[in-house]
Structure 1
């Protein structure tokens, strides 16, 4: 989860540089899908990771995400 946090915080920083408008809705969804796929490609069971955190699969970025 620390890696997810760092990625999301970096994306937040980019978004802030563009006045909160760096990503459109479709792009936000693509970014979340990319994070999910990247974790899976590296052997992470994303549903199990989310469940251990008490989250739904698609909520793993929500704690830090500002975009």
Structure 2
């Protein structure tokens, strides 16, 4: 399974905390903890865990099953983003989430490029129909 983006975000939080503790980072310049509050990380992990569980139950899924799973995870991430004032996922976070969805589908045996092509989409457009973040 692909690494969840929250793994990288937590690593950033840990680096920031170490730098603050060591005195090598001015508290006024500490922004990572503001970008990634625990509630955002926890809720994102809940959504991604449900997505992973759904993928784990597949054996030769149809396009409808795959797109349904993508829709559900994207709508759930929209809700998390809304819970955080619509700014929970910035540009880098959006890219990591989309890469994670793509890599997770590929890891579950889905040819994402072919799936997207069958629906008149580019490979990296499969979330666009539902994505608000």
TM-score range, shorter-chain basis? over 0.9
Q: Which runs of 5+ in 1 are unaligned?
A: none
Aligned to 1:45: 111
Aligned to 2:102: 36
Equivalent residue runs for 1:1-67 within 5 Å: 1-67=67-133
More helix by share: 2
Structure 2 length as normaliser, TM-score?
Answer: 0.50
User: Displacement of 1:23 after TM fit?
Assistant: 0.7
Larger radius of gyration between Structure 1 and Structure 2: 2
The 3-state SS of whatever aligns with 2:88 is coil
Structure 1 length as normaliser, TM-score?
Answer: 0.98
How many residues of Structure 1 are paired with residues of Structure 2 in the alignment? 67
User: Displacement of 1:24 after TM fit?
Assistant: 1.3
Q: Which has the higher contact order (CA 8 A, sep 6+)?
A: 1
Q: Which runs of 5+ in 2 are unaligned?
A: 1-66
Runs of at least 4 residues of structure 1 off by over 3 A?
none
